[in-house]
Each structure stands twice: as C-alpha cells, then as structure tokens.
Amino acid sequence: MAICLPGILPAKQVLRRSNLVSNHSPSVDLPKGYLAVYVGARQKKRFVIPISFLNELAFQELLYKAEEEFGFNHPMGGLTIPCSEDVFIDLTSCLSRC
C-alpha cells in the first residue's frame, strides 16, 4: 500500500528528474537495486543505499528537502541530500533494521 502525501513526489518521478537517470554508463561499483547519494554539510561523502529506502516516509522527507535546496540540478552529479552525515547514518541504520 502506498501513502500519497501532497508535495512529495513519487520515487520514480524524483529519479527521472534528477541526474541519477541519464544516458551515461552506469557506475561499475554500484550494484543493481542501489543508488548513490551524496551527504554532508561542507565535504560531500558518497553513500550507496538500497532503492527500497525511497519508499520510506523519513527518507522521502530528505528527498523533499533536497528538492527545495537543489531543485533537480545536483552539484555532485548524483542525488545530494542536505543533512549531516551523522543524521543520515542514524536514519539509514534505523531503516536497515526495520
């Protein structure tokens, strides 16, 4: 069952609009079913996360913040999440356990 919230785009629509889905060849170190995101205040660190995280409400809030801050033009060439590494690690750790 999907939850539809106004203002939050479906995950597929976010991926289509971002630079993640492009005509460039896929990264060799990115397994199928995962995507790379960049996180951090000053220096961005690359994280590889399961695509299933895109369905989680807490992660969708981060996507909404990313859209507000960067639109669909992400400076790192991939999805950039505007939060600290510590917050991101805590969130993804919680999502991994659920």
Q: Tokens standing for 9?
A: 């785009």
The pLDDT tens digits for 1-49 are: 444 444 444 544 444 444 443 333 344 578 899 988 889 878 889 999 9
pLDDT of residue 28: 53
Strand ranges of the sheet holding 79-81, from the earlier edge strand across to the other edge: 45-50, 34-39, 79-81
The amino acid occupying position 42 is: R
| Domain range list for the chain | 11-21+30-82
* 36 neighbors 48 (Cβ within 8 angstroms): yes
Question: Which residue matches tokens 């919230």?
Answer: 5
The amino acid occupying position 65 is: K
pLDDT of residue 76: 63
Backbone angles phi and psi of 88, in degrees to 5: -65, -45
